[in-house]
Amino acid sequence: MYENLVLYFFSGTGNARNVANWIADTALEKNLQIELVDISKIDRKNIPAPPADSLIGFCSPTHGFNYPPVIMYFIFRFPKSNGNKIFLINTRAGMKFSKIYFPGLSGIALLLPALVLLLKGYKIIGMRPIDLPSNWISLHPGLNESAVSEIQHRCKRIAKSFAEKILDGKKNYRALFDIIQDLLIAPIAVLYFFVGRFVLAKTFYADSNCDNCDLCINKCPVKAIEKVDNRPFWTFRCESCMRCMNECPKRAIETGHGYIIGLLYLIDVTAIVWLGMLSSKYINLPAGLPFPGLINFTLESLISLALLVPGYRLVHYLIKLPVFRQLIEYTSLTKLKFWNRYRSAKKYK
């Protein structure tokens, strides 16, 4: 049916990379020529147009009910179609409790890129979520080895069967089964894109186990970690892909649950006071604006994000003080001994 496949992927902790590899294996079995492109390793500003006769695939994790910004920007810049067909995959937060598998939630993770690519002239022939183990260990401890292994093997079968169908010229729009719930949660995807991801970027810190090996800095797929005051410092470029936290050999990268809640509370109180003063003294908002609540919310979010920059920097310096460091470490859930990292994805290549 096809002679070659160009498969673009982005992956934080290896799930999306595994899916890309499984699909490439299936394509190889069918004697296709494969080009597997890790978009974090290429020049994303000058994207060469794929050959006219090639099938194109995209595979990425879901972040905040959407594709992460790094792959969305890539898709926005992607050249117009040469008559190519495309399929899209998102890996989601799968779970397994007892014998039951639980799926993640896509939101607009496939709908938005599909729309953009349709407008560029591509023909969408497949859209599918794949529920690999959740890697979001800021929210929950990493799944245990056996759950990870079972979910990975199950997903390998699902990915290969999807690839079989697509490569044989069939269509598969499994993602559209969830379209109602996906559209209902779409507003959260917008909030995540404009606010949530920036807050998450500032939840990471290196604890006292950090020996400055720079692995996190070198491995970050979006080059978001810098050295400030001789310690890793997370910038707003961070996609919260979890690679740094999961791969740190010293287990030194943590989520600061306590300090981020405290910081946001302080900022929120300040922002609200400022906003109140501004709106009453300087900005004479006309009564009856169509969305006064939304305008208020947007202003408040912008001020909060702006204050988060110096706030996070202050935390970064204060953490050198033993009392402050202990306070931050005691209020980080990820410091708990049972809070596993998610490190098993590599084994299932």
Q: Which residues bind ligand FMN (CB under 6 A)?
A: 11-16, 61-65, 91-93, 104-105, 107, 132, 134-136, 200, 240-242, 345
Is the CB of residue 85 less than 8 Å from the CB of residue 56? yes
Specify the residue, 71 or 303, whose C-beta has the smaller distance to ligand FMN: 71
C-alpha of 153 from chain center: 22
Pick between residue 10 and residue 122 the one whose CB is nearest to ligand FMN. 10
Min CB(14)–ligand FMN separation in Å: 5
Backbone angles phi, psi at 297, to 5 degrees: -60, -40
Looking at the Cβ atoms of 129 and 311, the one nearer to ligand FMN is: 129
Shortest distance, position 124 Cβ to ligand FMN, whole Å: 21
Closest CA to 333 of 264, 221, 228, 255: 255
Question: Taking the CB of residue 332, how many other CB atoms lie within 10 A of it?
Answer: 21
Nearest residue (beta carbon) to ligand FMN: 104
If the CB atoms of residues 92 and 341 are measured against ligand FMN, the closer one turns out to be: 92
Q: How far is the CB of 301 from ligand FMN (least distance, A)?
A: 18
Q: How far is the CB of 68 from ligand FMN (least distance, A)?
A: 8
The residue whose two tokens read 């692995």 is: 215
Q: In the complex with ligand FMN, which residue's Cβ is closer, 120 or 174?
A: 174
In the DSSP assignment, the letter for residue 195 is I
Asked if 312 and 340 touch (Cβ cutoff 8 Å), the reply is no
- Helices 257-281 and 292-318 pack at an angle, to 10 degrees, of 130
Q: Quote the least distance from Cβ 163 to ligand FMN, whole Å.
A: 17
Least gap, CB of 236 to ligand FMN (angstroms): 14
The 3-state DSSP class for residue 271 equals: helix
Taking the complex as a whole, the smallest distance from the CB of residue 152 to ligand FMN amounts, in Å, to 10
Q: Within 10 Å of residue 275's Cβ, how many Cβ atoms?
A: 15
Helical segments of 168-256, H only: 179-184, 186-191, 197-201, 215-219, 243-247
Q: Quickly count: other Cβ atoms within 10 Å of residue 247's Cβ.
A: 19
Which candidate, 40, 42, 120, places its Cα nearest to that of 85?
120
Residue nearer to ligand FMN on the CB measure, 61 or 256: 61
Nearer CB in complex with ligand FMN: 51/69: 69
- 66, 112 Cβ separation under 8 angstroms: yes
